[in-house]
Structure 1
């Protein structure tokens, strides 16, 4: 049974504790950006101001996240997470100020946002890494749990902060978000037994070179393209629903995609595939591209929902495989930073695609936005299928063992 494999994984010493701590904090992470929108709009009455402040927050997070990951690799999660949480909480306080203090607070809050997902993924890699490399059966399930936790947080978090904001308490939504982030960060920091060991300077310098290798650069480019897909789809689905005069249809379409996303991730992690991870990545990207193409011409709600459901099945597989290949290509001494680079690339792609798709939709309708998402999926397929040579013995050993 799928539940047995996941439960077995969580029964490993300390695994359930650090996974749940990071999962709680992730809900706060998913609430923060939207909470800032509600807070600034409630105070100024302007969505333009809210978008500017939230954009500063997102940009600072994309730039600051890898630096926090680097610090965690250098000094350890137990030292970095409490400091990041304290700075983040103080920066949130500046958001309640008026004038330039709001923008400064948003930028500082984004730059200091604890990278709980990357820290949790690094703990799984350290926990499952043996003398001959990581366990190829357990590690995909562990990264699947991470993808499921992330998906659930972005279902629950925005819904919670929107409910609080709609009830007339936008400040409470932001305070609840920072409380969850700080609580999850501190709960993760005190669990020292499962934290990745801190490597020496020479080992970190050697590991850091992997971040500049073509193998890892390819993964960053692939997650950037996946972010473009996310951003284009968000704008296009909303434009499609509003253009039909049924704006209430948008959350239903998002819900269909999110539900199949969770189901697809759960089923993928529950089974073991004999194909090498690189080949699986190519197949998953091709499936995403094929599922996206009908959206260029479909107009009826039911077929559109079916196509979005199919795209949702492929997305978690891509996320899990990206994490799995990153763990294989980057030594443990720089792994947290590597995971944060993937998150930053996805966030940057999503932000840029949202702006690009918005212009395309204004000029040619929602199908133009769907075309940007399909193009990003095709780009992922080309990247994944292009010839590549494992540059690290660890990556080569992983693929040989899976074969």
Structure 2
């Protein structure tokens, strides 16, 4: 007889149990090494081009070209990974990345014109291995029969992403100051090659390939209206990252504490990390769609006060509260994506979200920089407010698109002892001929 799990009998899945998943560390360790450069590339490009060409505008534009190329091409590599396997895509991507970064370094040191730097920066960004999406696909392949554990896995991955965005810029800056900006990009490429090759070698944990069937038409993950909606909302999240990097730096400089900008941004990212850890431990009773709307609304509230802060101390507190909503929003978005697309498009779908963040980051930093030049540092903080505000409007208006396809119904046990059937959620499972009634937390 299959045991019933109700809202009065929650099952909590901790990080310890997650990390004891057989084979997990064989891909997590190299994945961390390969993901660390993700947060080093843009800053490394800025530092190198600034040193060789002496122009913030040129440096920022070259970095933006790299980020946009990554956002646009990354999902296509994700689609190829779904079809041909992760190793088949990783190996050529790593080779192209190493060659492109080397070319960019050589051109910058040779004081080549900006257009030549753009030509090298584009393939350098486009070939960044999509390790984060590939790791999430491996978790899906291993934990598809345990939704609660999968939710914890997505939380763990978002915390890992935040950690790399805290450590990556610090490492890039330290290498540039201690050695040279050139050494920063060399280290970025070396970590990408070493971590990427080690990750690609772990084929036993890779998800199954889904090659194109003769006569069958492959449908892109972006064909799903829900995926498009989430990608648009993640653009808004990306503007928070990009605008805060530029605006915090400008604000700290204006108040005569330029050396504090890294600490303030680190506290913002640290708040997101802590929130992500806690979020992943909670056995949520609300659906992922409801949680997405709530988390995104909290992010808007967090962004709403940044522009009005009078000094660096109050800005630090405001940035901390803004950061608390970041990781929960990302975790929930990835959770929803897993339910919206077929198995043969999951890596591509995850990559669209990652690419949307990168594109939003480039847009946010560019627009915030222009506003700062025009109206001062505080004006830059209006960019994430506008980006997240538009994202929330879209989510609220089109929230029906976030329902997983399929009319299957499930019975949800209420705390009062009654039950109701909800046709919009997937859920009824069969085990040995007996139906198991699952909670929303277990399914979402």
State the TM-score, normalized to the length of structure 2. 0.83
Partner of 1:388: 400
> What is the CA–CA distance in structure 2 between the aligned matches of 1:265 and 1:347, rounded to whole Å?
20
Partner residue, 2:354: 343
Deviates more, 1:261-270 or 1:51-60: 51-60
Q: In 2, are the aligned partners of 1:289 and 1:377 still within 8 Å (CA)? A: yes
Which of 54, 61, 74 is 2:70 aligned to? 61
Residue 186 in structure 1 maps to residue 186 in structure 2: no
1:204 and 1:148 mapped to 2: Cα distance? 41
Shift of 1:101: 5.1
1:11-90 counterparts in 2 under 5 A?
11-90=20-99
Cα distance change on mapping 1:173 and 1:359 into 2, 3 Å: closer
After superposition, the C-alpha distances for 1:190-216 in whole angstroms (9 at most, x for unaligned) are 111111101142499667354212211
Q: 2:233 aligns with which of 219, 222, 226?
A: 222
Distance 1:190 1:359 in 2: 44
Q: Distance in 2 between matches of 1:204 and 1:146?
A: 37
| Runs of 5+ unmatched residues, structure 2 | 1-11, 409-423, 429-436
Q: Are the aligned partners of 2:255 and 2:311 in contact in 1 as well (CA < 8 Å)? A: no
Contact residue 122 and residue 336 of structure 1 kept, 8 A: yes
C-alpha displacement of 1:385: 2.8
Distance 1:204 1:210 in 2: 19
Q: How big is each residue's C-alpha offset from its partner over 1:364-399, in whole Å with a ceiling of 9 and x where there is no partner?
A: 333322222222223333333334052512983169
Counterpart Cα distance in 2 of 1:161 and 1:371: 28
What is the Cα deviation at residue 54 of structure 1?
2.0
Aligned partner of 2:103 among 94, 98, 102: 94
Q: Return 278-287 or 171-180, whichever deviates more.
A: 171-180
Asked if residue 397 in structure 1 is aligned to residue 408 in structure 2, the reply is: no
Q: 2:287 aligns with which of 259, 276, 288?
A: 276
- More off after superposition, 157-166 vs 33-42: 33-42
Q: 1:263 to 1:391 in 2, by over 3 A?
A: closer
Q: Is the 8 A contact 2:31 2:195 kept in 1?
A: yes
Q: Could you say what secondary structure the match of 2:366 adopts?
A: helix
Say whether 1:8 aligns with 2:17: yes
The answer on whether the counterparts of 1:204 and 1:333 sit within 8 Å (CA) in structure 2 is no
Alignment of 1:100-139 (within 5 A): 102-130=117-145, 135-139=146-150
Q: Number of residue pairs matched?
A: 397
Q: Taking structure 1 as the reference length, what is the TM-score of the superposition? A: 0.91
In terms of Rg, which structure is larger?
Answer: 2
Write out per-residue CA displacement over residues 50-72 of structure 1, whole angstroms, 9 at most, x where no aligned residue. 33332222222122111111111
Partner SS state of residue 137, structure 1: helix
Deviations 1:326-348 (A, max 9, x none): 01101120111111111111111
1:291 to 292, 298, 302: 302
Q: CA deviation at 1:86?
A: 1.1
CA deviation vs aligned residue, 1:129-156 (integer Å, no higher than 9, x gap): 13xxxx2211121111111111111111
- Kindly report which structure 2 residues correspond to 1:208-287, keeping only aligned pairs within 5 A, or say none: 208-287=219-298
Cα distance in structure 2, aligned partners of 1:101 and 1:209: 33
1:378 aligned partner: 389
Aligned CA RMSD, in angstroms, stands at 2.4
